[in-house]
């Protein structure tokens, strides 16, 4: 079945550590890719998106993601996390022709001061 996989369910890091969250999808063809963040008690906010062009996408708050088409991956990275990055992170895929997003199950990030 087509899906979006986030293999890291809960990641715990100390402040200043580097972060990489995995996202793999199984949809064929052209896709639009997104990372959303959900801070505790809040709604989803867009971190970054990839529609086309440079596969290395820079988003808000120092986050970036790299689209690797051959690996069907769109991993999220940040070189140095802060306590305020504690949140849940969702990868989402919009296959071309589809009207909606397909979400991964999310990765909870806890950053220890």
Partner 1 sequence: DAGITQSPRYKITETGRQVTLMCHQTWSHSYMFWYRQDLGHGLRLIYYSAAADITDKGEVPDGYVVSRSKTENFPLTLESATRSQTSVYFCASNAQGDTQYFGPGTRLTVL
Task: Out of 19, 25, 35, 36, name the contact with partner 1 by CB under 8 A.
Answer: 36
Given a contact cutoff of 8 angstroms between Cβ atoms, the answer to whether 73 and 56 are in contact is no
* 33/49 Cα distance (integer angstroms): 6
∠ CA 66-71-73, rounded to 5°: 40
Cβ distance to partner 1 smaller for residue 51 or 83: 51
Task: Out of 40, 54, 100, 113, name the contact with partner 1 by CB under 8 A.
Answer: 100
DSSP lists the bridge partners of residue 31 as: 95
Within a 10 A sphere around the Cβ of 43, how many other Cβ atoms?
A: 7
Told to check if 13 binds partner 1 by CB under 8 A, we report: no
* 86/39 Cα distance (integer angstroms): 7
Told to check if 89 binds partner 1 by CB under 8 A, we report: no
Told to check if 2 binds partner 1 by CB under 8 A, we report: no
Task: Out of 43, 52, 54, 113, name the contact with partner 1 by CB under 8 A.
Answer: 43
Q: Point out which residues bind partner 1 (CB under 8 A).
A: 6, 34, 36, 42-46, 49, 90, 92, 99-106
């Amino acid at each position: 079945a087509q899906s979006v996989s986030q293999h890291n369910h809960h990641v715990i890091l100390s402040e200043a550590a580097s972060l990489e969250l995995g996202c793999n999808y199984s949809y064929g063809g052209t896709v639009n890719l997104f990372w959303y963040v959900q801070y505790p008690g809040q709604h989803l906010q867009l971190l970054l998106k990839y529609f086309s062009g440079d596969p290395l996408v820079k988003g808000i708050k120092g986050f970036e993601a790299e689209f690797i088409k051959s690996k069907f991956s769109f991993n999220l990275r940040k070189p140095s996390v802060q306590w305020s990055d504690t949140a849940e992170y969702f990868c989402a895929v919009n296959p071309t022709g589809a009207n909606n997003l397909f979400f991964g199950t999310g990765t909870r990030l806890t950053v220890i001061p």
